[in-house]
Amino acid sequence: MQLRLISAIFIFVGSYLPLSLILLAQNVDYTRLHQEICWKFWQQGCSLPLNNPGFALGIFGACTLCFIVTLVALTLVQPKHEIQLTDVKHVPADLMNYTLPYVVSFMSIDYQETGKFVGFLIFLGWMFWITYRSGQIILNPILIAFGWRLYDLSYRFVGDTTEHSSNAFAYGAVATGERHRQVAIQDILIVKPNRNMED
C-alpha cells in the first residue's frame, strides 16, 4: 500500500511533538510567570506569557493533533494477510536523523528569529521529503513509547513455502514461529500480533 502524501505529512509532523514542546518552552517569557495569567484573549492587553503565542501554541497544537491522528490510524489498521515468522531480529531505532532537529532547536532557534526559523522549516521539509521517498516515513520513534517496535523479519505467507524478508513495525513483541497478520505500507510491514492464533 502506497502511503498518501497527506497521511505522510501527518505522520511526520506528529513525530516532532516533543520538539514542538521544546520550542514552546523556549518561547515562554519566564519573567511574566509570577503575574496572573489572563485567559480572556479577546480583551485588550490580555496575553499569555509567551513571546509568540500564535506560533508556539499553533505549532504545538498541530503536532499534537497529527500525533493523535497517527495513533488512531495505526489502531484502525486491520492487517489481513496471515504470515508465519521464520526469523525475527529486533532492530534498535535509528534515531540519528530524528534527533538532528532537536540538536538544532537548542542552537538559539526560536519563533522570534524569522530567518533562522524559516531555514529550520526548510531543513525539516527536506528531511520529510527524503524520508517519504525512501519509504521509511512510518518509522516514528515516538511510537516506541506506545508499544511499537521495529523488527527485521523473515516470513512466509501461510500456505506458501516462499520466504520473504522485510523491515516491520510491530505492536508488541513478536517471536520466531508465531503467526500474525500484516499489511505493507510502502516498504514497511505493519504487524499486529495475534496471540490467539495457533502456531
Confidence of residue 106 (pLDDT cuts 50, 70, 90): low
Q: Where are the domains of the chain?
A: 5-182
Distance (Å, rounded) from C-alpha 77 to C-alpha 72? 9
Q: Which one has a higher pLDDT value, 169 or 186? A: 169
What number is the average pLDDT over the span 145-174?
Answer: 87
Nearest-CA neighbor of 146 among 44, 10, 15, 5?
15
pTM: 0.75
C-alpha cell at 50: 509567551
Predicted confidence at residue 42, as pLDDT, reads: 62
pLDDT in tens, 22-46: 888 888 887 777 776 666 666 666 6
Q: Give the DSSP per-residue string, 57-90.
A: HHHHHHHHHHHHHHHHHHHH----EEEEEEEEEE
Confidence of residue 68 (pLDDT cuts 50, 70, 90): very high
What pairs with residue 167 in β-bridges?
Answer: 152, 188
The percent helix, strand, coil of the chain (3-state, each to 5) is 40, 20, 35
Predicted confidence at residue 119, as pLDDT, reads: 80
Expressed in angstroms, the distance from the first to the final Cα of the chain is 27
**What is the percentage of the chain residues whose pLDDT exceeds 90?**
13
CB-based burial label for 22 (10 Å; 0-12, 13-18, 19+): middle
CB atoms within 10 A of CB 31: 8
The one-character DSSP state at 28 is B
What pairs with residue 193 in β-bridges?
Answer: 180
Predicted confidence at residue 97, as pLDDT, reads: 56
Predicted confidence at residue 199, as pLDDT, reads: 41
Length of the chain, in residues:
199
What pairs with residue 190 in β-bridges?
Answer: 169, 183
Res 198 pLDDT > 50: no
C-alpha cell at 134: 525512501
Mean residue pLDDT across the chain = 80
